[in-house]
Structure 1
Amino acid sequence: MVKVAFFTNDLKNIDAHFGSGEQFAVYDVNAEGFALSGVIPTGEERTEGRVELLQNEHVDIMYCVEIGPAAAAKVVNSKIFPIKYKEVVSIETELSKLQTMIATNPPPFIKKILEARG
């Protein structure tokens, strides 16, 4: 299983910036499917606080539409893999892609996550 966070304003799309998004949705994803684990409000937290919120949820991969270089470095240093999109993308579409990757041929970074999770 992989824990994934999506910075989202509408809970349907990856449509929020890491630094200004008001919430993120956390999903558990495996080869059989995916399920919403929770929606976490970010409040007034800045970069360190947001990274800590992700760590508290045991997130492995984080999606957003934008993230600055310093924030991305802090996310990576916390052993969370950031994925940035330039345009709005459906959360369900990404979850389906991730599920298929895990079930068929996961890329090395996902294999590493799966091995670490046992």
Structure 2
Amino acid sequence: MLLQRHLRIVACNTEEHAMDTSAIQVAFASTDMKTVNQHFGSSESFVIYSVTATSATLREAAQFQAYAQDGNEDKLAEKFKLLEGCAAVYCQAIGGSAIRQLTVQGIQPVKVSEGATIHELLESLQTELRNGPTNWLAKAVQKQQKSGDSNNNRFDEMEAEGWNE
């Protein structure tokens, strides 16, 4: 499946938000950027948000060629690549093989009912982050914090090695 368009939003406050170790990335299979209205395998587009307990920031939007739900696994490779670093992907439906491949990548597939709005799902995530995340969300936050800690520790390690200019 070929990626047709890919918009990555970069701005000062967005970058600071991305550096927040409590922020997680979540994706939504959506053609209108308002509702989750696509099957994962045949999804024509995804929007990705960075989410903390107090904010949700649009990070990326990507559009793919339209394909039928034909069981052709090769078409999913670009989608898996796009979703690297995401904690979850929300969609209306998803096949078993895609579920297995996503979970291997550490991405939680979340099936939602028809008409589910991205705004409401983001608010629900934020509420859960504020009140103490459960299940997959707790694991995703812990993974993100470990990743942030290892990035921060590498500078301490470099300093301890005695870097000279």
1:42 alignment partner, one of 64, 71, 78: 64
Shift of 1:54: 0.7
Q: Report the secondary structure of 2:139's partner residue.
A: helix
Q: Which residue of structure 1 aligns with residue 135 of structure 2?
A: 108
Shift of 1:88: 2.5
- Mark the CA change 1:43 to 1:53 in structure 2 (over 3 Å): closer, same or farther: farther
Q: Which residue of structure 1 aligns with residue 29 of structure 2?
A: 7
Residues in 1 aligned to 2:65 and 2:101: alpha-carbon distance in whole angstroms: 19
Residues in 1 aligned to 2:142 and 2:132: alpha-carbon distance in whole angstroms: 14
Residues in 1 aligned to 2:135 and 2:143: alpha-carbon distance in whole angstroms: 12
Higher helix share: 2
Letter in 1 for 2:109: P
Q: Report the secondary structure of 1:13's partner residue.
A: coil
- What do the CA deviations read for 1:57-103 (whole angstroms, capped 9, x no partner)? x2111000011111111111111000012422000000000000001
Q: Report the secondary structure of 1:75's partner residue.
A: helix
Q: Which residue of structure 1 aligns with residue 54 of structure 2?
A: 32
TM-score by length of 1: 0.91
Residues in 2 aligned to 1:43 and 1:79: alpha-carbon distance in whole angstroms: 25
Number of positions where the alignment pairs a residue of Structure 1 with one of Structure 2: 116
Shift of 1:105: 2.0
Larger Rg: 2
Q: Which moved more, 1:84-93 or 1:98-107?
A: 84-93
Q: Which residue of structure 1 aligns with residue 124 of structure 2?
A: 97
Long gaps (5+) in structure 2:
1-22, 67-73, 146-165
Bigger relative CO (Cα 8 Å, ≥ 6 apart): 1
RMSD, aligned α-carbons: 1.4
TM-score by length of 2: 0.66
Residues in 2 aligned to 1:70 and 1:116: alpha-carbon distance in whole angstroms: 24
